[in-house]
Amino acid sequence: DSGVTQTPKHLITATGQRVTLRCSPRSGDLSVYWYQQSLDQGLQFLIQYYNGEERAKGNILERFSAQQFPDLHSELNLSSLELGDSALYFCASSDAGDTQYFGPGTRLTVL
Amino acid sequence: QKEVEQDPGPLSVPEGAIVSLNCTYSNSAFQYFMWYRQYSRKGPELLMYTYSSGNKEDGRFTAQVDKSSKYISLFIRDSQPSDSATYLCAMSAGNTPLVFGKGTRLSVIA
């Protein structure tokens, strides 16, 4: 168990809908990262937050947004969902170093 | 050229074999190198962490980094069926997001 929690484990929704994925980092970790993993693209970095502030942005679509709250948990919001958004979404956390610890992921299926 | 290249496999070996997994990279700024293990439909689990060039050993696992060749390796000795998973290399320049290889799928056959 990495200490990073993610909810829900599975999400099934329809195209055009909006969903929210939640992540709680390991105790004491200030950084939260979001990744998308699909079969053909591998693990793709989406966005990083550090202590409530956006730190780095990767291949995140404009339909996606994220935030980190004062208690350091983070949410990833996905809107206007398309079939191609079906993937595993992982959250990872780290302290000041470079090692990241991953949560169990949320499997999103868009029908 | 992709920033990190990793042979996707699949790689199938008999139990007890020595497994060699490799990644090459193009960004000379990378200084931190990691190997993650991912079981099917689970989150990646950190296996090994190495800073700069050199070797690091942890039990049956050895990580090697050759920065001059931009090449990293993970060796698994006495491989077990429980080692069957996808292995992902990852690297960063320091306080930057990790860049991952696509992963190598390993099967260890009893």
Per residue in A85-96, pLDDT (tens digit) is 999 999 999 987
Closest partner CB to B43 (pick from A2, A33, A56)? A2
| Closest CA relative to residue B31, chosen from B92, B88, B99 | B92
pLDDT at A93: 94
- pLDDT tens for residues A66-77? 999 999 999 999
B92 touches chain A (CB under 8 A): yes
Residue of B nearest to A47 (CA): B97
Length reported for chain B: 110
Tell me how close the Cα of B109 comes to any Cα of chain A, in angstroms: 24
For A48, the closest of B43, B94, B97 (CB atoms) is B97
What is the C-alpha separation between A106 and B5, in angstroms, rounded? Answer: 26
Chain B residue whose CA is closest to A87: B41
Q: Which stretches of chain B drop beneath a pLDDT of 70?
A: 1
Alpha-carbon distances of B3 from A27, A42, A100, B32, rounded to whole Å: 32, 13, 19, 14
**How open is the CA angle B3-B7-B12, to the nearest 5 degrees?**
160
